[in-house]
Amino acid sequence: MASLSCLFPSSPSLKPKHDRVVKLTPSFRKDALAFSARSKSNYKFSVARKVYADFSKTNNVGVLKKAKQGGFEKDPKALWRRYVGWLYQNKELGLYLDVSRIGFSDEFVAEMEPRFQAAFKAMEELENGAIANPDEGRMVGHYWLRNSKLAPNSFLQSQIEKTLDAVCKFADDVISGKIKPPSSPEGRFTQILSVGIGGSALGPQFVAEALAPDNPPLKIRFIDNTDPAGIDHQIAQLGRELASTLVIVISKSGGTPETRNGLLEVQKAFREAGLDFSKQGVAITQENSLLDNTARIEGWVARFPMYDWVGGRTSEMSAGIEIREMLVGASMMDNATRSTVLRDNPAALLALCWYWASDGVGSKDMVVLPYKDSLLLFSRYLQQLVMESLGKEFDLDGNRVNQGISVYGNKGSTDQHAYIQQLREGVHNFFVTFIEVLRDRPPGHDWELEPGVTCGDYLFGMLQGTRSALYANDRESITVTVQEVTPRSVGALIALYERAVGLYASLVNINAYHQPGVEAGKKAAGEVLALQKRVLAVLNEASCKQPVEPLTLEEVAERCHAPEDIEMIYKIIEHMAANDRALIAEGDCGSPYSLKVFLGECNMDELYA
Ligand SMILES: O=P(O)(O)OC[C@H]1O[C@H](O)[C@H](O)[C@@H](O)[C@@H]1O
């Protein structure tokens, strides 16, 4: 078993290359202001504007703010012309993008054109194998997964193709019962339990929810946290079907603590049920990772690779279900989003809208509202893709920029009964993306629940109504329309947003492919657990005395040589007490100074260890 420290890797390569506490330079400030003023001063709808910059005195963070006053284009005919003029249509994919309810002007588009050309060039270089993730010294190759011929060399190309074939064959063999669990009465796998977190969970969850047939050959459930009660619930729900459950453990790094814990908990459940986990376990991870080595040594059913050059949040196409059609959709969208003509490139249009709506500094949140239950998880999926990619402290030149765009949303029309009130009338700090699906339900199932009106017409009406009502109050929106939710359209949507994020990152000059900020929390979590071990040792020593010596928090902190960590020690003891692992002799947790604690048992082995 790996020690805990191995599972909280702190990668030195993730550190900034140089001291990046750099002030926002006056020239940057001037450029930003001039750019914003120039591009918006001629705004054709004659919107009065006030543009000002506000620089925080305390941390040198520059925030360019704009104030929009007056109205948007409200004349229906002019608005219709704007709609038609900017409408993007992808005939092959049956996908439309409407950006008419974002108020950018022609002057703004012209100002942005050179930046987009630079972004297109950077994207081309990325696709050709440039080190597009400089901090980590990595190529960024998720686009090759849907067109292996793009891979920069034949070795990578054949790796991609072989993996895809192997995944598809494995899936067929599991479904047909050729690969089966050793001791299940059904004689085939009936359930999938997917264990993973972040990019190793959100994509599979989204796709599984979006594309699940009514009666899938295998049902899928997820463990995506280190919450023991949540894990117990998933295992309990499987019940006797644990014997016919295929457990797929997904972790690019192969060392993420939450995923490791999920695996250990599931393996324990297998042992207790008298089942051999290795005959039902599959690993999807980088070659030679901790997970890969474990799976190899224990002889799991299968192992599939994730690549160094594919980030977790862009790994949806690495290995999974229904993959070939999704890849076709993604590849078609990739072709469309390679266009260097802004108007013809839906990813560039999205990036343009994001830049306009959020002033290129994330001043507005992106609310994602799919009007389709099966796309519920799209917003959660996009939350990671957008926020982990764009939420960066420094730009590529080392300037402190604190970039990002916040993403939230669930689905319509459900959310209309929750927070649309605030969107329409409250604080104006967002823009909306509607996802519209034209086909309501499979052909032949529709009926009119009142004369001339189906259930789906209501959903349609709610979307259109909300879009209009928001715009009437100067709230901007984008609408992405697809014909149906199919593997192809889901693949296309994922590819559309992956590219939009990449292009936007170029516009604001940040690395979209690393996540240095995530390391801080992981490191701190490791320190908490290390402190907990010291607390346990101190309490154990006092609890082994005759008579037992209950300790105050101050005494524990002092004996741990960590008086400055007393608050964390209190939290550790509170948590242990709630789980019957520490006993309260006096006082209670609500009055920390009154507390005296000890352990229920003395562990002699540990005492003399
Ligand atoms: O796939 P794994 O290596 O287990 O990583 C799972 C997740 O870990 C971290 O939180 C990263 O920030 C995510 O980008 C990643 O998706």
Q: Which of 417, 445, 450, 564 is catalytic?
A: 417
DSSP letter for each residue of 30-95: HHHHHHHHHHHHT-TT---EEEEEEE-TTT--EEEEEEE-S-----HHHHHHHHHHH-EEETTTTE
Residue 407 CA to residue 382 CA, distance in Å, equals 7
Residue ID of nearest Cα to ligand 1 atom 10: 198
Residue ID of nearest Cα to ligand 1 atom 4: 251
Residue ID of nearest Cα to ligand 1 atom 16: 199
The rounded Å distance from CA 460 to ligand 1 centre is 37
Q: What is the pLDDT of residues 2-14, one digit of tens each?
A: 222 222 233 323 3
Q: Which of 321, 284, 376, 324 is nearest to 204 (CA)?
A: 321
**Nearest ligand 1 atom, CA 384:** 14
State both tokens at 400.
Answer: 């402190």
- Residue position matching structure tokens 């290995």: 319
**Among 195, 200, 294, 382, residue to substitute to test ligand 1 (most atoms within 8 Å of Cβ):** 200
pTM of the predicted protein model:
0.83
The rounded Å distance from CA 286 to ligand 1 centre is 12
Catalogue all structural domains in the chain, each as residue range(s) with its CATH number: 76-143+322-514 (3.40.50.10490), 180-300 (3.40.50.10490), 517-598 (1.10.10.10)
> Measured between alpha carbons, how far is residue 46 from residues 37, 324, 347, 536 in Å?
14, 49, 28, 68
Ligand 1, CB cutoff 6 Å, lining residues: 197-200, 251-253, 256, 259, 312-313, 388, 515, 518
* pLDDT value at 64 more than 60: no
Give yes or no: 417 in active site: yes
- State how beta strands 477-482 and 95-98 pair: antiparallel
The rounded Å distance from CA 280 to ligand 1 centre is 24
Give yes or no: 428 in active site: no
Q: Which of 362, 398, 393, 366 is nearest to 380 (CA)?
A: 366
Q: Which of 388, 436, 476, 498 is catalytic?
A: 388
Q: How confident is the model at residue 315 (pLDDT cuts 50, 70, 90)?
A: low
What SS3 state is found at 137?
Answer: coil
Q: What is the pLDDT of residues 220-256, one digit of tens each?
A: 999 999 999 999 999 999 999 999 999 999 999 999 9
State both tokens at 583.
Answer: 């006993």
Q: How confident is the model at residue 69 (pLDDT cuts 50, 70, 90)?
A: very low
Give yes or no: 15 in active site: no
Q: For the complex shown, is ipTM > 0.95?
A: yes
Looking at residue 10, its amino acid is: S
Task: Provide the H-helix boundaries in 273-399.
Answer: 290-298, 323-336, 346-357, 378-390
Tell me what the mean pLDDT of segment 144-152 comes to: 89
Q: How confident is the model at residue 186 (pLDDT cuts 50, 70, 90)?
A: confident
Q: What is the pLDDT of residues 484-531, one digit of tens each?
A: 999 999 999 999 999 999 999 999 999 999 999 998 888 999 999 999
